[in-house]
Structure 1
Amino acid sequence: MQYKYQTNSRKIMGDLHTPVSIYLKVRDTFPQSALLESSDFHAKENSISYLALKPIARIEVNRGISKMVFPDDKEESRELSDEFTISDSLNNFIERFEVEDSDIDNIGLFGYTTFNCVKYTENINIKESKEDKNDAPDMLYILYKYILVFNHFSDEITLIELQEKDELSNLNKIESLINQRNFANYNFFTEGDEYSTISNEEYKQYVRTGVEHCMKGDIFQIVLSRRFVQPFSGDDFKVYRALRSINPSPYLFYFDFGGYRIFGSSPETHCKVEGNKISIDPIAGTTKRTGNYQEDMEGVEFLLNDPKENAEHVMLVDLARNDLSRNAHDVEVEFFKEPQFYSHVIHLVSRVSGVLNFSANPIKAFFDTFPAGTLSGAPKVRAMQLISEIETHNRGAYGGCIGFIGLNGDINQAITIRTFVSRNNELWYQAGAGVVSQSKDEYELNEVNSKLGALHMAIEKATKLHNS
């Protein structure tokens, strides 16, 4: 069955509103919404944020089964196989919807792909979680009825709704909610101390094991991570607000899936498709940011000249080129080893792009690049196999992707790093370091801690945002 919609939209002035303020006003009326912000307003193409309200259809993949739920509550399930892949399931779901009119560029699916989905694309034995609280789908993408598009460049908000034939518009209600002055406010509290699922010494043993595999020639590089947990009570949206102020990044997101939430401030684009152009922005090379200009410049010089950091970066740029070449031509490096500054770290960033082949499918191209080499290693498949052996639990959301898949074929996916998973009054967060043959365990441990600096500060700041 085909589900047909037309779009209805209107523009309102956005100079008195922010995505955060509107989210706070509408979230009690429209739970399970998705907020996807950009913090880079310098360029017109990067000045768009989205707020998606009222889920009407979804596709999820869990334990090898693809399940589609449609607007009329009909469900279809099918087991994934070589003949019906995870990209096939997403394409089939999208093909069930037909949307007319000019707002199609802003209509699509919002959701995530966990790192665990590598078991559906490669021969990787991912550790299965048997805990009830870990039963979130491996992949989940949702079609929403209402989309608010914030153009920070022109200070306009476009309200868009999907309408069935002869359905009455509900945009007046949305606009009324936006213009209300009051909204409920809830506080955030930590409950006890943060803990890690492994000790510092155990993580250093991870690193030493990774170095051994590099020295034996099994791999050239591997990214090994560790998880932290902070029990809490109250409103975790306060943590998101704190994080976006402490660590503004190209991708800021807060997705509420009902029983759990995923939110963060990711600096790294995994895969972006616009028309027939596809790109990846690998980040490899990290040093701590001190806030002192001279010391930070010395850190940049260290990154640019350190043999270990350079070898790792070149390796991952080459991996991105190879991944794109499976579905694209004219693959090139647009910029190389560009220092980018964040609240607690300095990264080296490159951009690799290409032109999709005429017969290429954007969603298949996305999965052919998944997961990012910067979160797995090289060669990618062997690195992922070793990650599954070395790390004590599966990664879940960490190292996967989160973002938007348009019905028109456009894709914008961030790597799920600098990210919290909130469930059962616990915040889970994770960070890793790239290990090569020259790696030192203490240095890699410190790199992981530096990457978590903004998240720790966000938790602390959130506890002080009382009545605000």
Structure 2
Amino acid sequence: MTITQLQTYAKNYPAVPITLQFQLPSFNPIAITQAFDQPDKPCFLLTGKPKKTEDGYSFIGVNPLKSLTYRNGQLTMSDQMGKKTTEAVALKPVLEKILAENKTPRIPSLPPFLGGLAGYFSYDYAKYATTAHLPAVADPMALNDADLLLVDEVIAYNHATQMVTLSKIVPSAQLTNLYQSVLTHLTQLKQAVLAVSARKPLPSFSMTPLRLQFSLQEFDEKVEQTKQHIIDGDIFQLILSNPQQAKMHGSLFAAAPTLFNESPSPYQFYFRHNDFETIGASPETLITKRDQTLFTYPLAGTRRRGHDQAEDDQFAAELQHSPKELSEHNMLIDLGRNDLGAVSQFGSVQVTAYRKLLRFANVMHMGSVVESTVSDHVSAIDIVNAVLPAGTLSGAPKISAMQLIGQLENRKRGVYGGCLGYLGFDGDLDLCIGIRLAYRQGDQLVVHSGAGIVADSIAKYEYQEFNNKASAVVNALKETAKGGIVDALSN
């Protein structure tokens, strides 16, 4: 955009994006991320196969201005020089202040993310969004409740138009003084992007065998307890998870080429901050905001993929006609409608797609779409607080299910069941649900998945379900540890 166009926007907004665009027929998000990554700095990559409603994008955050981690009511902020401050404070007003101070215009001709807050809110962050009592749980890995980067410089790539957009957010009051120097910087950044010809050698990665937290017998007992709560009328459904754990050395980034290639998903991500890393290929949106429209996409009901077309079709028919799966899916659509209703204009919540069969690399799901028009004066954090965690990762009623999950699992879930993505300075946001992922803190590696328990659940089948869900991530990690890496993204 020209400085004249930006000066018009600058009259009404505290910040504006200076951008530079150019065509690039081939864009390897992993190679580009490597080229600009600094191992001692945070890293954010969000890419993936596009949703049907919009072009596919890759977003890479470059040299974040600040990082914000939140744990047990304590906020730690760190700047680019490594200076840290820690205080006991509510997170919501801090994030709202950052977003307001850096608010930019929404420019439809540009990518949906040019700068903002990027990172994750954990499943456990929900305790700050409700006045209901949630039980305290064990936290053996000292996991953060939220981990966000303040990103003012982004490399964005539209995979449909093959357009690279380099952006830098600047204060409106300094636009005239900074415009030329920022444009020079973005031109240098462009040359650096064009100079990336191939992926560098990947970091090392090794791991010990994964071990499930609960054996089949222990899981069976927890399923029976859950079903008794259903019989007693405490809940209708609950997502019971069973994390797998191992020791690891190296970096999860080494598994990115294999996982991204073998698990095409709307959201493929890599996030690193301090000694925490997560990598995943999530099929499910928690919440997307585009201008005034909110979207959520409940996925519920699962079958593994068949070994051939006949078996695949058989499993699809079973899934689409199973009373258990249909009732579970309908229940979670209702939860999605209720969640959006809390932050939407009255009467605007609608189900716009219903029980569509969606096939992924290792499993298939039924998916629906719920849309609404956001209410006036609702902030991005209000929206997160209304919808996190998704009903597909907690159960129904949500609060009762979460209270029971705390008792049954007695362990922080971290990014699993939370959300990862961005809150843009322009007011838009896109957050996927933290599933089909691995994360590590220090040398402790976790692959986390779960299954929906209803009144007629059979424990051994639910046990197999979360193993099916985790298989793509587990296989990618094992393949990487053996050195058998496939990187079709570099072709």
SS of 1:458's equivalent in the other structure is: helix
In structure 1, the partner of 2:474 is 456
What one-letter code is carried by the residue in structure 1 that aligns with 2:483? K
In structure 1, the partner of 2:47 is 37
In structure 1, the partner of 2:286 is 270
Rounded to whole Å, the distance in 2 between the matches of 1:99 and 1:223 is: 39
* Mapped pair 1:7 → 2:17: yes
SS of 2:274's equivalent in the other structure is: coil
* Mapped pair 1:147 → 2:157: no
Question: How far off its partner does 1:423 sit?
Answer: 2.7
Cα RMSD (Å): 2.6
Q: Does structure 2 conserve the Cα–Cα contact (< 8 Å) formed by 1:59 and 1:90?
A: no
Question: How far off its partner does 1:5 sit?
Answer: 5.0
Q: Does structure 1 conserve the Cα–Cα contact (< 8 Å) formed by 2:31 and 2:198?
A: no
In structure 2, the partner of 1:118 is 126
Quick one: structure 1 residues 191 and 304, their matched pair in 2 at CA, closer, same or farther if it must change by over 3 Å? Answer: closer
In structure 1, the partner of 2:65 is 56
Question: How far off its partner does 1:19 sit?
Answer: 1.1
Give the fraction of aligned pairs with identical amino acids, expressed as a percent.
Answer: 27
Rounded to whole Å, the distance in 2 between the matches of 1:286 and 1:264 is: 19
Q: Does structure 1 conserve the Cα–Cα contact (< 8 Å) formed by 2:62 and 2:154?
A: yes
Aligned with 1:88 (options 83, 90, 93): 93
Report Cα offsets for 1:129-167 as digits up to 9, x if no partner.
Answer: 554xx3342112211232001011111111112346445
Question: How far off its partner does 1:461 sit?
Answer: 2.3
What one-letter code is carried by the residue in structure 1 that aligns with 2:164? I
Matches within 5 A, 1:351-366: 351-366=369-384
**Structure with a larger share of its residues in strand:** 1
Question: How far off its partner does 1:99 sit?
Answer: 4.7
SS of 1:364's equivalent in the other structure is: helix
In structure 1, the partner of 2:102 is 97
Report Cα offsets for 1:41-76 as digits up to 9, x if no partner.
Answer: 766x23211011101023332211345556796857
Matches within 5 A, 1:273-352: 273-328=289-344, 329=346, 330-352=348-370
Which has the higher mean CA deviation after the structures are superposed, 161-170 or 391-400? 161-170
Question: How far off its partner does 1:241 sit?
Answer: 1.5
Quick one: structure 1 residues 233 and 177, their matched pair in 2 at CA, closer, same or farther if it must change by over 3 Å? Answer: farther
Aligned with 1:46 (options 52, 55, 58): 55
In structure 2, the partner of 1:395 is 413
* Mapped pair 1:135 → 2:136: no
Which has the higher mean CA deviation after the structures are superposed, 365-374 or 61-70? 61-70
In structure 2, the partner of 1:212 is 228
Q: Does structure 2 conserve the Cα–Cα contact (< 8 Å) formed by 1:7 and 1:101?
A: no
Quick one: structure 1 residues 368 and 414, their matched pair in 2 at CA, closer, same or farther if it must change by over 3 Å? Answer: same
Which has the higher mean CA deviation after the structures are superposed, 51-60 or 398-407? 51-60
Which has the higher mean CA deviation after the structures are superposed, 7-16 or 339-348? 7-16
Report Cα offsets for 1:418-441 as digits up to 9, x if no partner.
Answer: 011123233211110000111111
Rounded to whole Å, the distance in 2 between the matches of 1:162 and 1:409 is: 14
Which has the higher mean CA deviation after the structures are superposed, 219-228 or 198-207? 198-207
What one-letter code is carried by the residue in structure 2 that aligns with 1:56? L
What one-letter code is carried by the residue in structure 1 that aligns with 2:169? L
Q: Does structure 1 conserve the Cα–Cα contact (< 8 Å) formed by 2:27 and 2:157?
A: no
What one-letter code is carried by the residue in structure 1 that aligns with 2:253? F
Rounded to whole Å, the distance in 1 between the matches of 2:199 and 2:472 is: 28
Rounded to whole Å, the distance in 2 between the matches of 1:70 and 1:233 is: 27
SS of 1:242's equivalent in the other structure is: helix
Count of residue pairs brought into register by the alignment: 458
Q: Does structure 2 conserve the Cα–Cα contact (< 8 Å) formed by 1:188 and 1:232?
A: no
User: Unmatched 5+ residue regions in structure 1?
Assistant: 81-85
> If the length of structure 1 is used for normalisation, what is the TM-score?
0.90
In structure 2, the partner of 1:25 is 35
User: Unmatched 5+ residue regions in structure 2?
Assistant: 1-12
Quick one: structure 1 residues 74 and 6, their matched pair in 2 at CA, closer, same or farther if it must change by over 3 Å? Answer: farther
> If the length of structure 2 is used for normalisation, what is the TM-score?
0.86
Q: Does structure 2 conserve the Cα–Cα contact (< 8 Å) formed by 1:52 and 1:147?
A: yes
Quick one: structure 1 residues 467 and 394, their matched pair in 2 at CA, closer, same or farther if it must change by over 3 Å? Answer: closer
